[in-house]
Chain A
Amino acid sequence: MKIAVCVKQVPDSWAEKKMVNGILDRENVDAVLNDLDEYAVEEALRIAEAHGGNEEGGPHTVTVISMGPERATEAVRKALSMGANDAILVTDAKLAGADALATSAVLAAVIEKGGFDLVICGTESTDARMSVVPAMLAERLNVAQLTFASKVEVDPAAKKVSITRVTEAGVDEMNAAFPCVISVVEKINEPRYPSFKGIMAAKKKSIESRDLAAVGVSVDSAWSLVADSSPRPPRAAGIKVSDDNSAEQMVSFLAEKKLI
């Protein structure tokens, strides 16, 4: 099997984020591998390992695909140190401020060229929080969409995948034939920590860098534009009580606010 994993580098969740000219200022915050994408990398490795492995010369490969600035190399390297085989990073100045439509167009072009059986994503990038890229990829690639999976079973011989999908609408059992786009929820597995050996090995693995010309798509300016953004007033410091009649004080507070 040829498995692709889409990972994004995002600002650290704890970092303070700011908008500059209508786009997220990514320059001045620490960046990390989107933690929800670690589950995607782990699941890709487990699928490969369950069917003969992705070691050099093994039957399967796991390729990391990312679109982002040059320094997204660090996030990609982390996925490689977990055990993925190689990586493609799409970097181009024209992609600054790209929206989900542009992102999915770029990723779809890379995936199409690579001819993958399975594409595995996280359910959400912790910065944009849109949860739309996997569905857009399935649409663009004209392949099956198996998203929000809490369980994935792959039959490489029959080229079939079954998943359990968990969303607010309940729990569904779904299946499809290769190729397909899968997204995995964080309950699916426990991502491994890169081992020392993994980190050393990752230094030698190939990260192929491509610009838009190499990908072969042109990206228009974003199809949705931020008109303005403004910081909201921080929550005023609240009341904090700890004495014996705190329950009664709390109820009075709720009554004053007309919440009872």
Chain B
Amino acid sequence: MRKFLLLIRRFWTLILFITLEVISIYFIAKSRSTQGIDVINSANATVAYFYQKEQNIVSYFNLKRVNTELLNENTALRNQLFYRQSVDTFKTVSAKIPVFDYSKIDRNQDSNILAQPVTMTIAENPPLKVVRYAEYEFIPARVINNSISNDRINFITINQGSEAGIKPGMSVVSSVGIVGRVEHVSKHFATIASVLSNRKVSARLKLHEAYGQITWVPGHPDFVQMDDIAITLPIKLRDSVLTTGFASFPANIPVGTVSRIDTVKSNNTLSLQIRLATNFRTLAFVYVVVDGMEAEKEKLEKKNQSAR
């Protein structure tokens, strides 16, 4: 026994070495097999904690790139969405109309009044007709300067200009609501007169189909006003207000929600205070709307004016 102990003591280093290596091999074999990696892996609480902490810090470095990627993706999705929304398609369908055959009518029997059954046939290869009444494309841009405190007109500067295809008069929306209209364009930048200006925007109530114009009352960057609404409409607080699509804004872009309802006694109308959907204090990304049909529309409407 003593000799055995001496032997162990003599080769203790070697034994320890072999033991440790065997343990390592065991771990390797275990982790390389499909049955779980139990203790020694990065899902382990301590290790995962470190990675979590690291990620919390490191993720900030990627934030700008991630934002840009998301913005581009959003633009692509938005383009697709509006492409589908502004299109109607229909096919030619022929239907047979039931005809009464009076000669065969038997007054006593109700069953054979119809001489011919009602059928509806679709033509062999009906031509698909497409009606396109709007054509919108969105250009993403980053807000680089923003003012909300001016009294008459507030400008937003964005980092895209004529090189990206932006022209004065185009409307600008954010991911949640309207923003304004492009005012001046340089090669790489553009300024937007935001909704917080003396420019007017046409809008409608979502539930009641009441149209009106939105004006900004200087003093508060969160609210706009909508006047001359019929007093008979049962308008409630938090009703949505959307754009109409008459002007350059695409239809059904959120403007905001009704936050206060005032009755104007002098002309029996309602005056609505609307909380804007877009938060102009923290605006960071916007989309410039390119209306592909605007030029055509304008040309046509100019004829009206000259005829007058």
A binds B: no
